[in-house]
Structures are given as structure tokens and as C-alpha cells.
Amino acid sequence: MSTTTLVIGGGAAGVMLARRLSRSGGDVILVDPSADPGAGVAYGTAAPWHLLNSPAATMSVDSEEAGHFMTWADRAGSPIGAGDFAPRPLYGRYLRAVLAEALSDHGDRVRLVTGTVAELRPGRDGVTARLTDGGVLTADHAIIATGNPASQHPLPGLADHPRYVPTPWHHSEPLRDLPGPVLLIGTGLTAVDVALSVAVGERADPITAISRHGLVPAGHRRPDEVAAVQTRTPEPDRSLARLTAEVRRSVGDTGDWRAVVDGLRPRVDQLWEGLSDEGRERFLAHLARVWEVHRHRMAPHVAARFHRLRDTGRLDLRADRITAVHAGDPGHIGVEFASGVSGRYGTIVNCTGPGRLPGSANPLVARLLADGVAAIGPFRLGLDVDGNGRLVGADGWVHERLWTIGALRRGRLWETTAVPEIRAQADRIAGALTGSVARA
């Protein structure tokens, strides 16, 4: 008797789970609001000039076939090399193709449902899911694969202003048509992509991007640049100061910070878990942003275009924060900054990263928290989970039939949002549930 797994979310994580579970002999119900799932927000709304932030060799959905993405791209008429940074829409097509293949090869095991899960009720014999349209689904297990919590809203008073864009990838109009001048709140990878979209063509309107530190993602090395020799990875340490000193020493010894950061990646979660609570708090307060801009880098071509915008004066990057807004004029928004300057903007775009729970929870996660089925995890970055990704309830009980994958594990883990980590989590969950199949 096979096990039926409800996968909630049809983005990259959902596709990997559906593929892996169906190939292992399990039955899958994949639920997503889109009638054309697969790409998700990350890869389904990108423009052609938006590139992946990791080389193609790392982006396979198959842990046993590193070249799976490249092989598919070649057959699809868009050949890419292992070190290339492919267009994100191409990767979205790849994910849809992977899902279509799972349906073709295991159609009797994979069922797609267009809808939104509003409530999950775990029981002794399974899980019941209620959809917003009133539909009900039952399964043996449920896996929440809904991605990052929503962005924090630094300007709540502007929520209904016609010139405020709270979520750029859900905006109904092309970003290149936003009325200027444009102010971007945030200077991370989302701001980079939005700036490139706004600046398409010879548009003269200035773009301003602000954040507390004013730091922007670094660029990956070009494919023709040779990496330094492999670096030594520090051992876990409860002291953030000692760990940081060891990393800096390694950078100094090699002269190649990229090699050091990339060498740390396989053990980041071990290092994170080894820190004391105080050390992790200090990291979040003082070093998290520095780590992010070095770890999550721009593709070389994207970095060149972005810095060209800045160097030509079309983009102004500032370390600043907003102290007041004046939203009386429907055509412009007045802004005052901590630095003492002020400005009037035709559009303000929220490019901040994921917010903290519970305020940034999607409706399903909010309902799970309200019902006590789930609890907020460490530092409010995600949900509380055990080492296998199973939900921990408000009473401390580990739910054997409720799982998470990817971003909602953050806090318990640190490195949990990129394709290699999500791929590994999908493999482990499928392995655990395959064991359930074998025992049934």
C-alpha cells in the first residue's frame, strides 16, 4: 500500500518533491494557486535579463545527475555551460518540464490541484486539508513548500497608495513603466533585479536604492577566472568572535574571499548550530547582511550592468532610512530620510527580504500558528521544526505527518533557501516517506 503525500506549493521545492516521491513509488497531490505550476514566484515572473545567481552546474533537480539542467537546456535549444548563469525564465521552463515529465512517467501517482490550502488538520491516520474554495483533500503526510515568508513592509502607512509597490513580482504592470523617480527600499538581489527592469532602454528617470548599510551583493567571478586553492573550513565554535576571526584569517591566507565563502557553504548549518544563542543573535544583528552580500552574489553580467547604472549616475545607492512619508498627493510620495535629505518619488518599491514571523506569515502558516499546530522557530525566521523538517507544535509535540522544506526551516537552519539545499531536503524527506511505504 503506497503513501499519499500532499505537497503544498508548486515552485522549485514542490517540483523536486513531486518528482522524487513519484519516482520512489509514492502518490503525490500537488496543490498550487497557479493553473500552470512549476516555476513559482522566483522563476515564473522573471524578465529575460534576470539571470540565476548560481552557475548552471549547481541547479539540477537531480542530486545524482549534476548535468540534468544542462542536458535539458541543450535538448530545448538553449545550450548552457556548467559555469554559465542561465536566464531565470529558462530555469522556470526547466522546472515546468520536470513536472510535466513526472506527470507523463508517473501520471497515475501525481495529481495536480489548482487551489490554495487554508487549513491543515493532522490526525492519527493522516492529514486533512481544507481549501479556500471549500474543497477537502486527505493524505498520509503533508509538506509545506510555500517558500519565503512575505517581505516586511517598512511603510505600512502606504499600503493602499497607488504609487507604492509592496511586492514587485506580483505587480500587475511592467516594472519598466513605473512612474519616476523610483525609490527602492532595499539593496539586495531583489533591488538589483528591479533596478535593471526599471532602467530598461534609455529611461532618464533616476533610481534611488536605500538600505541601512547600503551594501549590495558582490559579483561572482567570471567563468574565465580561476579560483584559489581549496581553503580550510573552521571547526564549529560557540564563540562568534573566534569563528569570525578564523574566517578572516583564512581570507587573509588565501587572498580569495570567494573561495573561503564557497568552502564554508557545505558546513554553514553545522557552524550555525554550533554557535551559542548569544552568538547567533550577534550574527543576526551585526554580520548577517555582510554574509548575505558575499554569499548570495550577482551573476557577472548582471553585476556589470548594475554597476554601469551606478557609474553613469542613473542609480544612486545610499545607506539611509526613511523617517517620514507624505502621501497626500496621489501622484507622488514625499519622503524624509534620517540623513536629513528629502525627496518626491513617482513610485516606491519594497525590495526588502523576507520578514519575520508571525507578521510575515502567509495565511496557511498564520492559521497553523493560531491553531497551535505550528510554533515560531528560532529568531522568528521560520517555523519550529525537528532535524528532519517535521513541524513542532506549540505544545512541543513533533507532528509525524507534517513537514516543511526550504525557507520555513530558517532559524533552525541558516542555509536552507538555495536549490542544492532544497534538493537535499527533498531527497531526505522522500527517503523517510519511502521507508513509510515499505512498512505499510
| pLDDT score at 48 | 80
The answer on 285 and 251 residing in a single domain is yes
The answer on 361 and 341 residing in a single domain is no
In order of 53, 278, 286, 312, the CA distances from 309 in angstroms are: 19, 40, 29, 5
Q: Is residue 262 part of a domain?
A: yes
**DSSP classification of residue 77:** T
The parent domain of residue 196 ranges over: 156-218+297-350
Query: Of the candidates 409, 378, 406, which has an alpha carbon nearest to the alpha carbon of residue 391?
Result: 409
Q: Is residue 385 part of a domain?
A: yes
| pLDDT score at 242 | 95
Are the C-beta atoms of residues 162 and 173 closer than 8 Å to each other? no
The answer on 132 and 70 residing in a single domain is yes
| pLDDT score at 345 | 95
The answer on 302 and 245 residing in a single domain is no
Q: Is residue 235 part of a domain?
A: no
d(CA 435, CA 429): 10
Q: Is residue 61 part of a domain?
A: yes
| Number of domains comprising the chain | 3
| pLDDT score at 327 | 83
d(CA 188, CA 136): 39
Q: In 3-state terms, the chain is what percent helix, strand and coil (to 5)?
A: 40, 20, 40
- Axis crossing angle, helix 68-75 with helix 88-105, rounded to the nearest 10: 90
| pLDDT score at 440 | 32
- Phi and psi at 192, nearest 5°, equal -60, -50
| pLDDT score at 136 | 98
pLDDT in tens, the chain (440 residues): 579 999 999 999 999 999 999 999 899 999 999 999 999 888 887 778 789 999 999 999 999 999 999 999 999 999 999 999 999 999 999 999 999 999 999 888 999 999 999 999 999 899 999 999 999 999 999 999 999 999 887 777 787 888 999 888 877 677 888 999 999 999 999 999 999 999 886 667 889 999 999 999 999 987 666 665 566 778 899 999 999 999 999 998 888 899 899 889 889 999 999 999 999 999 999 999 999 999 999 999 999 999 999 999 999 999 999 999 998 788 899 999 999 999 999 999 999 989 999 999 999 999 999 999 999 999 999 999 999 999 999 999 999 999 999 999 999 999 999 999 999 999 999 999 977 443 33
| pLDDT score at 227 | 63
The answer on 133 and 22 residing in a single domain is yes
The answer on 426 and 370 residing in a single domain is yes
Q: Is residue 225 part of a domain?
A: no
